[in-house]
């Protein structure tokens, strides 16, 4: 329902008014949970998620090959497994690594051994870094899909114990909300861009709407107080746009069932416009 909420908010028309040439590829066919077996309790709905991730990988890769900038809409953050694999695979052909800026309240760094829930959307970044079930870590045809030195997280404020250990083990750069408070969002984003563009082809941005404070973005599945403000989020997008390094975008965790009059989708639309060049003057 997340992509539908963004379409209802007028995403395509707004992008076209900004001057973008937009082609909506429609929704991927994803098997709904009600009709599926949960499977392993520490890797819930793995078969259906792997199937959808593989299809998304190919669509993203083909889109890049056609000279387009993929904007992938979700849904929960498990979609990044397929989308980032597609982008990384495309640039691997020219022997270039991929950088990622990951805006999120959470780490998404659990594995089947550390997860408290079994939800794969809490494992996405770990999988892309080569940690976890081999069926997922090898989705791009190589592993790891990402190297920790090319990834920067911003806005994190809720980590499980196992995720903290994975941060330490991988050397991943994490700008928590404390760093955002102390340094300011401008410095955090600029440093994140430096990390994600150092010896890479560019940035695949991960924009999880729960990075924003739930006062402004209530329609997400795992709300955590104390996130980015409305203006901090827009400035982050404007700075990322200024970098000229965005190669693909995932916009995730829009859940209209939990939202207030589609506010979160409308904010997501605004942030995409700022990311793609809309300015006050």
- Domain coordinates in residue numbering, the chain: 2-21+35-275
Q: Which of 76, 133, 163, 208 is catalytic?
A: 208
Check pLDDT > 90 for residue 51.
Answer: yes
- Check if 27 is active-site: no
pLDDT band at 192 (very low <50, low <70, confident <90, very high): very high
- Check if 253 is active-site: yes
Q: Which of 76, 158, 163, 210 is catalytic?
A: 210
Distance CA 50, CA 94 (A): 26
Is the previous residue joined to 144 through a cis bond, with omega within 30 degrees of 0? yes
- Check if 208 is active-site: yes
DSSP string, 128-192: HTT-S-HHHHTTTSSS-SS-GGGEEEEEE-B--HHHHHHHHHHT-EEEEHHHHHHH-HHHHHHHH
Q: Which of 76, 121, 133, 150 is catalytic?
A: 121
- Check if 121 is active-site: yes
Check pLDDT > 90 for residue 233.
Answer: yes
Q: Which of 76, 213, 250, 253 is catalytic?
A: 253
Q: Which of 104, 133, 158, 250 is catalytic?
A: 104
pLDDT band at 276 (very low <50, low <70, confident <90, very high): very high
Q: Which of 76, 77, 133, 266 is catalytic?
A: 77
- Check if 133 is active-site: no
Query: Can you tell me the mean pLDDT for 75-91?
Result: 97
Q: What is the DSSP letter of 212?
A: B
- Check if 76 is active-site: no
* Beta-bridge partners for 100: 151, 204
Cα–Cα nearest to 70, from 105, 47, 98 = 98
Check pLDDT > 90 for residue 34.
Answer: no
**Which one of 2.30.30.140, 3.40.50.300, 3.40.50.850, 3.40.800.10 gives the CATH number of domain 2-21+35-275?**
3.40.800.10
Query: Could you read off the pLDDT of 160-188 as tens digits, one per residue?
Result: 999 999 999 999 999 999 999 999 999 99
Tokens coding 217: 């973005």
Instruction: Give the pLDDT of residue 36.
Output: 82
Instruction: Give the pLDDT of residue 149.
Output: 98
What is the number of other CB atoms lying within 10 angstroms of the CB of residue 269?
23
Check pLDDT > 90 for residue 30.
Answer: no
- Residue whose entry in the numeric block shows the structure tokens 């499977």: 39
Instruction: Give the pLDDT of residue 268.
Output: 98
Query: Could you read off the pLDDT of 111-145 as tens digits, one per residue?
Result: 999 999 999 999 999 999 999 999 999 999 999 99
Tokens coding 104: 């999120």
- Check if 108 is active-site: yes
Query: Could you read off the pLDDT of 206-228 as tens digits, one per residue?
Result: 999 999 999 999 999 999 999 99
Using DSSP, state whether 87 is helix, strand or coil: helix
Q: Which of 108, 158, 250, 266 is catalytic?
A: 108
Cα–Cα nearest to 85, from 172, 150, 28, 146 = 146
pLDDT band at 249 (very low <50, low <70, confident <90, very high): very high
Asked whether 260 and 219 are in contact (CB, 8 A), the reply is: yes
Cα–Cα nearest to 27, from 4, 9, 49, 48 = 4
């Amino acid at each position: 329902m997340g992509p539908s909420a963004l379409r209802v908010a007028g995403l395509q028309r707004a992008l076209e008014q900004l001057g973008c040439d937009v082609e909506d590829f429609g929704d991927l066919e994803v098997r709904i949970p009600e009709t599926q077996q949960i499977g392993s309790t520490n890797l819930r709905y793995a078969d259906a998620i792997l199937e959808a991730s593989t299809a998304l990988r190919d669509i993203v890769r083909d889109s890049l090959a056609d000279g387009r900038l993929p904007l992938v809409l979700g849904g929960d953050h498990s979609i990044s497994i397929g989308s980032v694999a597609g982008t990384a695979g495309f640039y691997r052909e020219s022997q270039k690594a991929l950088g990622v800026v990951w805006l999120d309240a959470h780490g998404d760094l659990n594995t089947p051994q550390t997860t408290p829930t079994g939800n794969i959307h809490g494992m996405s970044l770990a999988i892309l870094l080569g940690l976890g079930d081999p069926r997922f870590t090898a989705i791009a045809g190589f592993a790891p899909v990402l190297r920790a030195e090319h990834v920067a997280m911003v806005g994190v404020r809720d980590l499980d114990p196992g995720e903290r250990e994975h941060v330490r083990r991988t050397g991943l750069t994490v700008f928590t909300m404390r760093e955002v408070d102390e340094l300011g969002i401008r410095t955090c984003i600029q440093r994140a861009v430096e990390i994600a563009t150092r010896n890479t082809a560019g940035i695949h941005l991960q924009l999880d709407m729960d990075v924003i404070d739930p006062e402004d973005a209530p329609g997400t599945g795992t709300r955590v107080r104390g996130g980015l403000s409305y203006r901090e989020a827009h400035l982050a997008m404007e700075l990322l746009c200024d970098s000229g390094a965005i190669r693909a975008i995932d916009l995730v965790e829009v859940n209209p069932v939990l939202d207030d009059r589609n506010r979160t989708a409308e904010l997501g639309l605004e942030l995409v416009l700022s990311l793609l060049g809309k300015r006050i003057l």
